[in-house]
Amino acid sequence: MRKMLANIRKGYGKKLVSIHRWNAWLVLFLAVSGLLLVGGFWREVLGEGRVWLKWAHIVLGLALLIPVIYYLLLAAKHWKRLDGKTGQKTNVIFVLVLLIGWLASGIVLWQFRLAGPRAANAALWIHDLLTWVGLPVIIYHSITRVKWLKEPRKRSIVAETRSPAGSGTITDIKQPAAVSTPQPVYTRRGFIKLAVGAGLAVTVGPTFVRWIGKSLQLPGTADYAADNANTLIPDPVPLADSSPPIGGGAEGSFRVYTVTDIPAFDNSNWSFTIDGLVDQPFTWTWEEFVKLQREVQVSDFHCVTGWSVYKNTWEGLPLSKLLDMAGVKKEAVMVKLYSGDGVYTDSLTLPQARMEDVMVAVMHDGLPIPNQLGGPVRLVTPQMYAYKSVKWLNRIELIAEDHVGYWEQRGYDKDAWLPGARRV
Ligand SMILES: Nc1nc2c(c(=O)[nH]1)N[C@H]1C(S)=C(S)[C@@H](COP(=O)(O)O)O[C@H]1N2
Ligand SMILES: [Mo]
């Protein structure tokens, strides 16, 4: 009977160990893939791989449900075992909150079209928060609990104590557990813990602080306008509706996305062209371009990855006005959009391009669009996800066939409409 009980206990212990192991591997993969997905740098490197990686992240993220549910089935029993061990209980609750929070917010992000931008935005915030808080804790936990660190006694450096005889001795380091007087000055384990903690604080800390600053919109945390590397002269003069912005100022913050190095422009290397199947092609210099009559609109900006910036006051030229100036030939069916980065492109059908809020924007909230955010000129497509919002836009070509854009070639949906958009 006793043996049986012991066996059951052993089996149960084994189950917990294997749940823990599976969970650890899943979290490791999700952490690495998640960081690759969120890091702007990797957009360029990964290309199409990014879309695959996102799918793998989603599938293995959902697979987290297995260890979580399995654990919950054993939880009651485990909980009894932890009686009195408050530290361990806190640990278990922390991990469960983390995993379930990641799962729930991840599901909303996965189903962003169903959920809509508001929910996706909140989910991304939670997903990020849990990552910046949870990941350092998990890394700390895994580094400080590897096996060889669990034999601290053998490696302890023990304080030198004076023996009653008065001669200085180093207490036998193999027996300090039994000796109560000499306290270890520090143990190898304690030292490593401290080092890991400090290392994490130094590496993850600044990212966390920056993220908090940006998401709470603390002043000075993301001052792109101040760091604008474009040097185009003259500055566009804002219309009255832009300055102060009639939208009241954008709410939220942009994440800087690019698939190349971020370009910067000056009067000598910037121009704007509309050509292809038009009656009258144009190429404007910056001096000419800023003289064209602009308009102002207030609109929201949504990225498929979940973040949004609300109430942007954009000032620029409605794309339809540019099309009318050039005169679209009747063979033309698509508007191809080129970025001055030389790589990124996208396209709109003619009816889409003629929607009243599709704008070739020059100013944001009364200021020139900084180069990090696609200035001097970017496209704005409020009814569609922002991968249509080509940054550093410098050429519009009217074409007779379809054109598949940069991210669409790499797996993004050709249909970029927001839920509830007025599709045309
Ligand atoms: N040239 C260029 N335009 C681009 C992108 C890009 O990588 N390169 N990314 C697109 C995507 S997916 C989004 S969400 C927005 C992001 O704009 P932001 O970098 O100003 O936040 O730009 C879009 N336009
Ligand atoms: Mo995006």
Distance CA 387, CA 380 (A): 10
Q: Show the CA angle centred on residue 238, arms to residues 292 and 320, nearest 5°.
A: 40
Distance CA 159, CA 184 (A): 6
Q: 253 CA distance to ligand 1 centroid (A)?
A: 13
Q: 389 CA distance to ligand 1 centroid (A)?
A: 6
Please report the pLDDT score of residue 233 as a whole number: 96
CB 386 less than 6 A from any atom of ligand 1? yes
Q: 344 CA distance to ligand 1 centroid (A)?
A: 9
Q: 78 CA distance to ligand 2 centroid (A)?
A: 43
CATH architecture of 272-409: Alpha-Beta Complex (3.90)
In ligand 1, the atom with minimum distance to the C-alpha of 257 is 19
Distance CA 331, CA 279 (A): 11
Range from 51-65, 163-177, 230-244, 368-382 carrying the lowest mean pLDDT? 163-177
Nearest CA to ligand 1 atom 11: 387
Please report the pLDDT score of residue 399 as a whole number: 98
In 3D space, the residue among 379, 382, 378 whose CA is nearest the CA of residue 418 turns out to be 382
Range from 161-170, 265-274, 413-422 carrying the lowest mean pLDDT? 161-170
Pick the more confident residue, 197 or 346: 346
CB 254 less than 6 A from any atom of ligand 1? yes
Place of tokens 């399995």: 70
32 Cβ partners below 8 Å, 6+ apart? Answer: none
Q: 337 CA distance to ligand 1 centroid (A)?
A: 13
CB 338 less than 6 A from any atom of ligand 1? no
Please report the pLDDT score of residue 156 as a whole number: 39
Does pLDDT of 121 surpass 70? Answer: yes
Does pLDDT of 103 surpass 70? Answer: yes
Name the strand (E) or helix (H) holding 367.
strand 367-368
Per-residue model confidence as pLDDT tens digits over 288-337: 999 999 999 999 999 999 999 999 999 999 999 999 999 999 999 999 99
Place of tokens 């490593």: 192
Distance CA 123, CA 107 (A): 9
Does pLDDT of 220 surpass 70? Answer: no
Is there a cis peptide before residue 351, judged by omega within 30 degrees of 0? no
Name the strand (E) or helix (H) holding 316.
strand 308-318
All structural domains of the chain with their residue ranges: 2-185, 272-409
| Mean pLDDT computed over every residue of the chain | 87
**Contact between residue 60 and residue 29 where contact means Cβ atoms under 8 Å apart:** yes
Q: 321 CA distance to ligand 1 centroid (A)?
A: 23
CB 262 less than 6 A from any atom of ligand 1? no
Top-tier CATH class for 2-185 = mainly alpha
Does pLDDT of 169 surpass 90? Answer: no
Q: Which two tokens stand for residue 154?
A: 């053998």
Please report the pLDDT score of residue 47 as a whole number: 79
Nearest CA to ligand 1 atom 18: 256
**Contact between residue 369 and residue 357 where contact means Cβ atoms under 8 Å apart:** no
Please report the pLDDT score of residue 182 as a whole number: 53
Per-residue model confidence as pLDDT tens digits over 382-408: 999 999 999 999 999 999 999 999 999
Q: Which two tokens stand for residue 20?
A: 């823990």
CB 298 less than 6 A from any atom of ligand 1? no
The count of C-alpha atoms lying within 13 angstroms of the C-alpha of 237, restricted to the half-sphere facing its C-beta, is: 5
CB 256 less than 6 A from any atom of ligand 1? yes
